[in-house]
Amino acid sequence: MLADDLRFLVESQPPLEWGRLGQHLPYEWIEYAVQATGSASVRRRRLPAQQVVWLVIALALYRHQSISEVVDELDLALPAPDASFVSKSAVAQARQRIGAAPLAWLFHESARNWVAQDQARYLFKGFSLFAMDGTTLRTADSAANRRHFGASAAAHGRIGSYPQLRAVTLTALATHLVRDAVFGPYDINEMIWARELIDRVPADSITVFDKGFLSAQLLCNLVSGGQNRHYIIPAKSNLRWEVVSGCDGDQIVRMRVSPQARAKCPDLPEFWQARAVLAVDAKGRQRTLLTSLTDRRRFRGADIVSCYERSWQIETSYHELKQSMLGMDLTLRSQTVEGVYQEFWGALIAYNLIRLEMAKAAIDAGHSPEEISFIRAFHTIQYEMTWAAVTRSYGKLPTLLKRLRERLKQLPNEKRPGRRCVRAVKSRPFRYTVRVLKRDLN
Total structural domains within the chain: 2
Half-sphere exposure of 324 (CA within 13 A, CB side): 19
| 101 and 174 share one domain | no
| 5 and 78 share one domain | yes
Q: At what angle do helices 190-198 and 216-224 cross, to 10 degrees?
A: 10
| 15 and 85 share one domain | yes
| 188 and 313 share one domain | yes
Contact 71, 145 (CB under 8 A): no
pTM of the model: 0.83
Q: Which residues pair with 197 in a beta bridge?
A: none
What one-letter code names the amino acid at 420? R
289: in domain = yes
CA distance 383 to 355: 16
Domain membership of residue 30 as a residue range:
1-113+353-409
416: in domain = no
| 375 and 311 share one domain | no
| 148 and 76 share one domain | no
| 220 and 252 share one domain | yes
333: in domain = no
One digit per residue, pLDDT tens: the chain, 442 residues? 323 332 332 333 334 444 445 367 777 888 888 887 776 655 556 677 888 888 888 888 888 888 888 887 777 766 555 555 677 777 888 888 888 999 999 999 999 999 998 888 899 999 999 999 999 999 988 999 999 999 887 666 677 788 999 999 999 999 999 999 999 999 999 999 999 999 999 999 999 999 899 999 999 999 998 899 999 999 998 889 999 888 888 999 999 988 888 888 888 888 999 999 998 877 778 889 999 999 999 999 999 999 998 888 898 899 999 888 876 666 788 999 999 999 999 999 999 999 998 888 888 888 888 888 888 888 888 877 776 665 554 455 556 556 666 666 655 555 555 555 555 545 555 555 555 545 544 5
Give CA separation, 10 vs 2, 303, 442, in Å: 12, 59, 84
What one-letter code names the amino acid at 255? M
Give CA separation, 67 vs 25, 62, 217, 320, 326, in Å: 22, 9, 44, 22, 15
